[in-house]
């Protein structure tokens, strides 16, 4: 079983422009692609887990989400960076579009996306990592038993509302987070 670094997408890999739904607006954050390359070269999987409540809220459709994701992956691949998986939550309890207007087990900080990815891709949650720009990403990793890192990506830091929202470390961007993980990873025992 491989360990994994789960990554939030918007605000962690690409610039968060708010309910992004146009491929033309996709801008990778500096160093993000190289960070993904270095994590995968170290033998960890990279899986993106993304809350996309814009679908439940009627801001955009599933095809828009997939078009944006395709563009994110196209830009990453141009820099040699490949993902092992992409999982998203289209739900929101206050949504207006059926059947997505619902309480679900996959909207971060719930751990459904991580568990599904681990099951489908044969990944170990134990000894794995979560990196995101929101406190909900940090808490998601905490609830799944991972080591969580918070990246600020140039935005003001939201205060933690609970111990679950306290990351192992706060870093400026994904490049710095990858470096931190790889330093930590070198000291981990291999999985049996
Ligand atoms: Mg984000
Ligand atoms: Zn969901």
Using one digit for the tens of pLDDT, what is the confidence trace for 94-139? 999 999 999 999 999 999 999 999 999 999 999 999 999 999 999 9
Would you state the pLDDT for residue 1?
87
- Give distance in angstroms: CA of 51 to centre of ligand 2: 8
Query: Is pLDDT above 60 for 92?
Result: yes
* CA 91 to ligand 2 centroid distance, Å: 4
CATH superfamily, region 2-185: HAD superfamily/HAD-like (3.40.50.1000)
- Give yes or no for residue 81 having a pLDDT over 60: yes
Question: Residue 8 C-alpha to ligand 1 middle, in angstroms?
Answer: 6
**Quick one: pLDDT at residue 192?**
52
The band of 190, judged by pLDDT with boundaries at 50, 70 and 90, is low
Distance 92 CA to ligand 2 centre (A): 7
191 alpha carbon to ligand 2 midpoint, in Å? 30
Q: Are 53 and 13 in contact (CB under 8 A)?
A: no
Cα–Cα distance measured from residue 62 to residue 87, given in angstroms and rounded to the nearest whole number: 13
Ligand 2 centroid, distance to 64 Cα (angstroms): 17
- pLDDT tens figures, 132-177: 999 999 999 999 999 999 999 999 998 999 999 999 999 999 999 9
Cα 78 to averaged position of ligand 2 atoms, centre (Å): 30
Distance 96 CA to ligand 1 centre (A): 22
Query: Percent of the chain, pLDDT > 70?
Result: 96
Give the number of the ligand closest to the Cα of residue 52: 2
Q: What is the pLDDT, as a whole number, of residue 10? A: 98
Q: Is the pLDDT at 187 greater than 90, yes or no?
A: no
Question: pLDDT at residue 11 above 80?
Answer: yes
pLDDT of the residue at 191: 58
CA of 174 to the centre of ligand 2 (A): 25
- Can you tell me the mean pLDDT for 61-76? 98
Distance (angstroms) between ligand 1 centre and the Cα of 134 equals 6
Residue 188: per-residue pLDDT: 64
| Contact call for residues 101 and 56 (beta carbons, < 8 A) | yes
Q: Is pLDDT larger for residue 189 or for residue 101? A: 101
Please tell me the distance between residue 16's alpha carbon and the centre of ligand 1 in angstroms.
7
Nearest ligand, CA of residue 7?
A: 1
At 40, the pLDDT band (50, 70, 90 cuts) reads: very high
């Amino acid at each position: 079983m491989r360990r994994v670094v789960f990554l939030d997408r918007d605000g962690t890999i690409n610039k968060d422009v708010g309910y992004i739904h146009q491929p033309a607006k996709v801008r990778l954050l500096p160093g993000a692609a190289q960070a993904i390359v270095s994590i995968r070269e170290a033998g960890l999987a990279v899986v993106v887990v993304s809350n996309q409540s814009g679908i439940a809220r009627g801001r955009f459709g599933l095809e828009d989400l997939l078009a944006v994701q395709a563009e994110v992956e196209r830009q990453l691949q141009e820099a040699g960076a490949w993902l092992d998986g992409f999982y998203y939550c289209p739900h929101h309890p206050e949504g207006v579009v059926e059947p997505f207007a619902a309480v679900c087990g996959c909207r971060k900080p719930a751990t459904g996306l991580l568990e599904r990815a681990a099951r489908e891709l044969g990944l170990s949650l134990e000894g794995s990592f979560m990196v995101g720009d929101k406190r909900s990403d940090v808490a998601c990793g905490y609830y799944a038993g991972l080591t969580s890192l918070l990246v600020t990506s140039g935005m003001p830091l939201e205060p933690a509302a609970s111990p679950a929202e306290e990351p192992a470390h706060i870093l400026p961007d994904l490049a710095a987070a990858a470096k931190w993980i790889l330093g930590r990873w070198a000291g981990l025992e291999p999985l049996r």
